[in-house]
């Protein structure tokens, strides 16, 4: 590897203005205990731009000389080896001698390119005053692998596509504190667009609808080919594609691998249940899907329950079905599930389940923190129909008594109220308010 190339890359990273970006809501606390910060998540969710956000923050705080950013997929670093890694810091300090006595912030993007990268990172953190930030392709830098490779020396954060608030910021949309009827209609129109095409940054910033769908289709192909098929050497590509398609189209419903295996056999696609379970795990590992298990106080029952499955982005449903479904309630539930997983990324104690009793009553989401169930959430497009209201409320009340939880919420499209029913307060809140945290 040529030293001239490293010098060129370092100077570029120091002199080049940072691109415009949307500040992500994910809060990363820089540890004081000699741990790296690792950002994982699905492809194209904005992990690199999140590193830029951290660099900008450091610059604003006055740290300019001690920041080194290296994209290890840069074509000038072709075939970089583990033994080459020392050249980055060494050359950086030759160019910036004043940085030798100060704390250095080392940002390594796409670190999985270098075989054995974890040994270098551990050694640098042990011997020098260096804070390391890492990102990597979801196919090669999974949370469980980071934990093994870094031996407890890394704090791992999950970056998902834009939430609704980030979507609005990316689109340059701002609303007054109090929404007029016209602004409320605009808010709902943007929410419908967000539910239709999702929050992947590249899709959000693309204006043409056909281009949005093309980007989403390409994203699915790359996720399957690079992150799953190539990584695991899979051969039954038809079964994998069918599995992902069924999972996406089944958003918010209980999913049975056993039933799918039987269905595929009837279509002449030979694949075992064990293979499908493996494929399901691979898709979960690369954040293509977000399974939610049925609540129980018994771990075995949780593990054996049929999961409800949500895609990491509702745009994947539109891409798969070729159009936006008129079933707004289904897409609302998907958006809520994704947002709950986004919030879970910031709260290590938070667990997400659904609840169902033996008589068919269901609650969409059960939030557990530590040993306590802290919140019960139903998602319902419209509470005006009496049978719908009765069904949703009865399920909340039954689960509230069974689980000992008094925080009961129904997320609606645009209606809100607070009602006292059987001694329990139930709050109905519009989805846009729940997503943005707005009070009015």
Give the 3-state DSSP-derived string for 345-394, with helices as H, strands as E and coil as C: CCCCCEEEEEEECCCCCEEEEEEEECCEEEEEEEECCCCCCHHHHHHHHH
Indicate if 371 and 292 belong to the same structural domain. yes
Domain count, the chain: 2
The gap from C-alpha 108 to its chain's centroid, in whole angstroms, comes to 20
Global pTM reads 0.92
pLDDT at 196: 96
CA distance 147 to 323: 40
How sure is the predictor about 440, in pLDDT bands with cuts at 50, 70 and 90? low
What phi and psi, each to the nearest 5 degrees, are found at residue 97? -60, -25
Please choose, from the candidates 392, 391, 401, 402, the residue with its C-alpha nearest in 3D space to the C-alpha of residue 422.
401
pLDDT at 255: 97
**CB within 8 A of 69, min separation 6: which ones?**
13, 51, 55, 107, 109
Please choose, from the candidates 153, 102, 152, 147, the residue with its C-alpha nearest in 3D space to the C-alpha of residue 126.
153
Average the pLDDT over 203-229 and give the result.
Answer: 93
Residue 140 has pLDDT above 70, yes or no: no
Indicate if 16 and 98 belong to the same structural domain. yes
Please choose, from the candidates 296, 340, 135, 316, the residue with its C-alpha nearest in 3D space to the C-alpha of residue 218.
316
pLDDT at 176: 87
Residue 36: strand, helix, or coil:
strand
Residue 248 has pLDDT above 90, yes or no: yes
C-alpha to C-alpha distances, 7 to 13, 62, 90, 104, 206, nearest whole angstrom: 10, 23, 10, 17, 35
Indicate if 258 and 129 belong to the same structural domain. no
Indicate if 126 and 175 belong to the same structural domain. no
Share of the chain above pLDDT 70, in %: 99
Please choose, from the candidates 439, 347, 364, the residue with its C-alpha nearest in 3D space to the C-alpha of residue 409.
364
Over the chain, what is the mean pLDDT?
Answer: 92
Residue 150 has pLDDT above 90, yes or no: no
Indicate if 182 and 215 belong to the same structural domain. yes
pLDDT at 1: 64
Residue 3 has pLDDT above 90, yes or no: no
pLDDT at 139: 63
C-alpha to C-alpha distances, 48 to 43, 69, 71, 72, 196, nearest whole angstrom: 10, 10, 9, 12, 25
- pLDDT tens string 318-353: 999 877 777 899 999 999 999 999 999 888 899 999
- pLDDT tens string 255-269: 999 999 999 999 888
pLDDT at 439: 66
How sure is the predictor about 424, in pLDDT bands with cuts at 50, 70 and 90? very high
- pLDDT tens string 358-410: 998 999 999 999 999 999 999 999 998 889 999 999 999 999 999 999 999 99
Stated length of the chain: 440
CA distance 78 to 56: 27
Element containing residue 332 per DSSP (H, E): helix 328-344
Average the pLDDT over 352-359 and give the result.
Answer: 96
How sure is the predictor about 16, in pLDDT bands with cuts at 50, 70 and 90? confident
Residue 325: strand, helix, or coil:
coil
CATH number at residue 139: 3.40.50.300
Domain span at residue 330 reads 166-436
CA distance 209 to 128: 50
Range with the poorest average pLDDT among 146-155, 253-262, 285-294, 383-392 = 146-155
pLDDT at 375: 98
Identify the domain boundary among 125, 159, 193.
Answer: 159
Residue 355 has pLDDT above 90, yes or no: yes
Identify the domain boundary among 121, 139, 159.
Answer: 159
CA distance 151 to 149: 6
How sure is the predictor about 137, in pLDDT bands with cuts at 50, 70 and 90? confident
Burial 284-298 (b: 16+ CB within 10 A, else e): bbbbbbbbbbbbeee
pLDDT at 263: 93
Indicate if 131 and 11 belong to the same structural domain. yes
Indicate if 104 and 48 belong to the same structural domain. yes
What phi and psi, each to the nearest 5 degrees, are found at residue 201? -50, -45
Residue 420 has pLDDT above 70, yes or no: yes
Indicate if 95 and 137 belong to the same structural domain. yes
Stronger pLDDT, 14 or 166, i.e. the higher one: 166
Indicate if 294 and 418 belong to the same structural domain. yes
Element containing residue 430 per DSSP (H, E): strand 424-430
Instruction: State the DSSP string of 226-289.
Output: IIIIIHHT---HHHHHHHHHHHHHTTTSB--HHHHHHHHHHTT----HHHHHHHHHHHHHTTSE
Identify the domain boundary among 159, 179, 211.
Answer: 159
How sure is the predictor about 18, in pLDDT bands with cuts at 50, 70 and 90? confident
User: Using alpha carbons only, what angle is made at residue 25 by residues 23 and 27, rounded to the nearest 5 degrees?
Assistant: 110
Indicate if 349 and 392 belong to the same structural domain. yes
- pLDDT tens string 19-65: 888 889 888 888 877 899 999 999 899 999 999 999 999 989 888 77
Structure-token pair, residue 7: 């010098």
Stronger pLDDT, 200 or 423, i.e. the higher one: 200
Average the pLDDT over 270-287 and give the result.
Answer: 94
What DSSP character marks residue 223? Answer: I
- pLDDT tens string 120-136: 999 999 999 999 999 98
Residues 182 and 70: beta-carbon distance below 8 Å: no
Indicate if 237 and 89 belong to the same structural domain. no
Indicate if 253 and 333 belong to the same structural domain. yes
């Amino acid at each position: 590897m040529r030293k001239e190339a490293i010098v060129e890359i370092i100077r570029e990273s120091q002199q080049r203005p940072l691109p415009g970006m949307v500040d992500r809501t994910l809060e990363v606390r820089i540890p004081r205990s000699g741990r790296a910060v690792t950002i994982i998540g699905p492809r194209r969710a904005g992990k690199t731009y999140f590193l830029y956000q951290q660099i900008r923050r450091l610059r604003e705080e006055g740290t300019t000389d001690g920041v080194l950013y290296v994209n290890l997929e840069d074509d000038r670093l072709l075939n970089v080896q583990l033994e080459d890694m020392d050249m980055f810091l060494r050359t950086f300090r030759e160019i910036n001698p004043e940085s030798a006595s100060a704390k250095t912030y080392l940002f390594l993007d796409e670190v999985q390119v270098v075989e054995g990268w974890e040994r270098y990172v551990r050694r640098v953190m042990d011997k020098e005053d260096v804070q390391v930030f890492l990102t990597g392709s979801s196919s090669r830098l999974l949370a469980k692998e980071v934990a093994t490779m870094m031996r407890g020396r890394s704090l791992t954060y999950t970056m998902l596509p834009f939430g609704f608030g980030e979507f609005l910021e990316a689109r340059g949309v701002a609303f007054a504190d109090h929404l007029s009827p016209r602004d409320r209609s605009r808010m709902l129109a943007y929410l419908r667009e967000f539910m239709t095409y999702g929050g992947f940054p590249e899709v959000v910033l693309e204006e043409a609808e056909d281009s949005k769908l093309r980007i989403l289709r390409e994203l699915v192909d790359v996720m399957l080919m690079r992150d799953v098929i190539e990584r695991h050497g899979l051969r039954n590509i038809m079964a994998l594609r069918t599995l992902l398609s069924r999972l996406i189209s089944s958003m918010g419903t209980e999913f049975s691998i056993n039933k799918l295996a039987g269905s595929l056999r009837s279509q002449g696609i030979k694949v075992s249940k064990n293979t499908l379970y493996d494929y399901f795990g691979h898709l979960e590992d690369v954040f293509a899907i977000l399974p939610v298990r049925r609540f129980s106080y018994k771990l075995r029952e949780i593990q054996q329950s049929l999961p409800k499955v949500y895609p990491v982005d509702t745009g994947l449903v539109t891409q798969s079905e070729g159009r936006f479904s008129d079933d707004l309630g289904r897409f609302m539930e998907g958006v809520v599930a994704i947002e709950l997983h986004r919030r879970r990324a910031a709260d290590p104690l938070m667990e997400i389940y659904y609840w169902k009793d033996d008589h068919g009553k269901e609650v969409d989401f059960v939030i557990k923190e530590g040993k306590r169930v802290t919140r019960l959430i139903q998602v319902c497009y419209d509470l005006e129909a009496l049978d719908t209201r009765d069904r949703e409320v009865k399920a909340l009340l039954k689960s509230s008594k069974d689980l000992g939880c008094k925080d009961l919420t129904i997320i609606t499209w645009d209606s809100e109220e607070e009602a006292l029913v059987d001694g329990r307060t139930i709050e109905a809140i519009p989805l846009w308010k729940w997503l943005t945290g707005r009070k009015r």
